[in-house]
Chain A
Amino acid sequence: MAFDLDAVRKEFPILSRQIDGSPLVYLDSGNTSQKPRRVIDAMTDFLENSYAPINRSSYRLAGEATEAFEAGRRAVARLVNASSPDEIIFTKNATESMNLIARSWGGANLGEGDVVLLTHMEHHANIVPWQMLRDERGIEIRWVPLTADGQLDLTDLDRLLDGAKVFSFTAMSNVLGTIPPVAKLCAAAHDAGALAVVDACQYVPHNATDVQAWGADLVAFSSHKMCGPSGIGMLWGRLELLDAMPPFLGGGNMIDTVTLDGYTTAPVPAKFEAGTPPIVEAVGLRAAVEFLEDLDMSDIRQHEMDLTRYALDTLNGRFGDEITIYGPDDVAVRGGVLSFAFRDLHPHDVSQVLDERNVCVRAGHHCAKPLMQVLGVQSTTRASFYLYNGTDDVDALADALAGATDIFGF
């Protein structure tokens, strides 16, 4: 079935909202996505009819709630082609998933002088947890640099990976949109004897994902960027690896038994899910996954590639030298994220002027300050697309940008 933008839009109640009499042009999905009706309904229905604790009580209602929660796990496992639902761990967000990796795997396996390889286009979530380990135990962090058009410069990859114990990289940059060759990078990591960690937070919502085909070891992603609710994140890991990793947070649910003298851990995934998990959120997430599956991830990706091509051509065509769009021009290796500099205007001022026309974009460093340094800018304006965006949104963005110069007069 061909991608039907109008039908998709009808599923998102917020898109019919008007502010000051004009429609919402939501171009901030790289930050967080809007929610379709079925996600909202699934959560409301669960809260009204089936809410109860999970994994703890033996009455029927609790069993029903546990089943609904676990259905969320199964849906996620299917979406990313995990070999078992037990390989999916629910966290609070992708940031917590990254911290789990650094604390648990890193805590058990990394010491003074051990090398972790990152790239210049990482989100703070894939930088700071490693820097914390560096400060505590003296690991070394190396960086894969970028080419002029914002792709990973892999010329020296072998040398950078030499002796590395972890290679942790994003599958799609939240600033440049760059999609690196993930499977190739995982293979290179393994050839060097390093663990392959993928921050797939921006990738999973927009692309068909197969963690086994990637050959990755650990993959972090988040519900709120893929039409699901906020408050629940995911970590996928190979079962043997997760089994071998020590627990992250301690408390209820993650134990097998506790005595006055100590504790033993539950098997995965419970081992990494201390305390009451995001129950309602898992139910909403399942509805989000089913929504995406019904539309088909490859059709979504195609729609976004077409839209990104249109956006690059429209903005470059209309503004020429006055706009600098960062990242690769080839939409085969970039997602629908456009960070740009516009005239001499500061991103804050650009986004303020766009907001006047209900065009919602993000201005700032996008939680990637090291990348801003590499690009030689303090901040950028970023428009990011999702399945509900169309060429009309891009036109609205371009029209609003054209209006910005009138105000600042340079």
Chain B
Amino acid sequence: MPGLEDLYREIILDHYRTPRNRGELESPPAIETRGHNPLCGDEITLYLLVDGEGDDAIVSDVKIGGQGCSISQSSASMMTQAVIGKPVSQAYALIRRFKTMMGIEGYDEQPGDADVAMGDLEALQGVVKFPVRIKCAVLGWNTLAEALDRAGV
């Protein structure tokens, strides 16, 4: 059986204890999107600011509110660090890569996706061995995807 150390890696606990980019952004202009996990009741509110249009659109800021377990909180925290300042197209690529890493089907990687750095996010790989926690890990990502879709750049 996979041990707890596969799940609760130090970097994950660090993001859980000291979440990055927590808070709110004024909306509008930010896009406020809520996500929740109907199974356990975890809730997340994501604020997204996008600058520019079309291919030049950049994720200029993301903030996270709400409550959740160590996995959903740390995953969202790492996600903000990974996408802030990146082109929107790369944010989508990260979402595809992350979901694929979580073993979720239907997010076929597209050309260039493999070049997008996962960084600390690799630490969440161990979650796959705990299938009930996958939903926790992807909560923030689903919420980001919805926010990006709503930004519609």
A: residues with CB less than 8 A from B are 19-20, 346-349, 352-353, 356, 363-365, 369, 372, 378-379, 407-410
Which residue of chain A has the shortest Cβ distance to B40 in the bound complex? A364
Check A379 against B40 for contact (C-beta < 8 Å).
yes
A410 near B41 (CB under 8 angstroms)? no
Scan B64-92; emit 1 where CB is below 8 A from any A CB, else 0. Answer: 00011111000000000000000000000
Please indicate the chain B residues that have their CB under 8 angstroms from the CB of A409 in the complex.
Answer: 13, 17
> Are B69 and A356 in contact, with the CB atoms below 8 A?
no
With a cutoff of 8 Å between Cβ atoms, the chain A residues found around residue B3 in the complex are 356
A-B contact pairs, 17 of them (CB 8 A): A346-B67, A346-B68, A348-B42, A349-B69, A349-B71, A352-B4, A352-B7, A356-B3, A364-B41, A378-B42, A378-B43, A378-B67, A407-B4, A407-B8, A407-B13, A408-B13, A408-B70
Closest beta carbon of chain A to B3's beta carbon, Å: 8
Q: Is the CB of A352 within 8 A of B133?
A: yes
Among B4, B13, B71, contact of A348 (Cβ-Cβ < 8 Å): B71
- Of B1, B13, B16, B130, the residue contacting A20 (CB under 8 A) is B1
Across the interface, which residues of A come within 8 angstroms of B43, CB to CB? Answer: 378
B8 CB contacts on chain A under 8 angstroms: 407-408
Q: Is the CB of A410 within 8 A of B71?
A: no
B133 touches A348 (CB 8 A): yes
Question: Which residues of chain B are within 8 angstroms of A346 by Cβ–Cβ distance?
Answer: 67-70
A348 touching B136 by the CB < 8 A rule? yes
**B10-21 to A contact mask, C-beta < 8 Å, 1/0:** 000100110000
Q: Which residues from chain B contact A352 at a C-beta distance below 8 Å?
A: 4, 7, 130, 133
Chain B residues with Cβ below 8 Å from A379 are: 40-42
Q: Let me know if A365 and B41 touch, CB within 8 A.
A: yes
What A residues does B70 contact at CB under 8 A?
A: 346, 348-349, 408
Interfacial chain B residues near A353, Cβ < 8 Å: 4
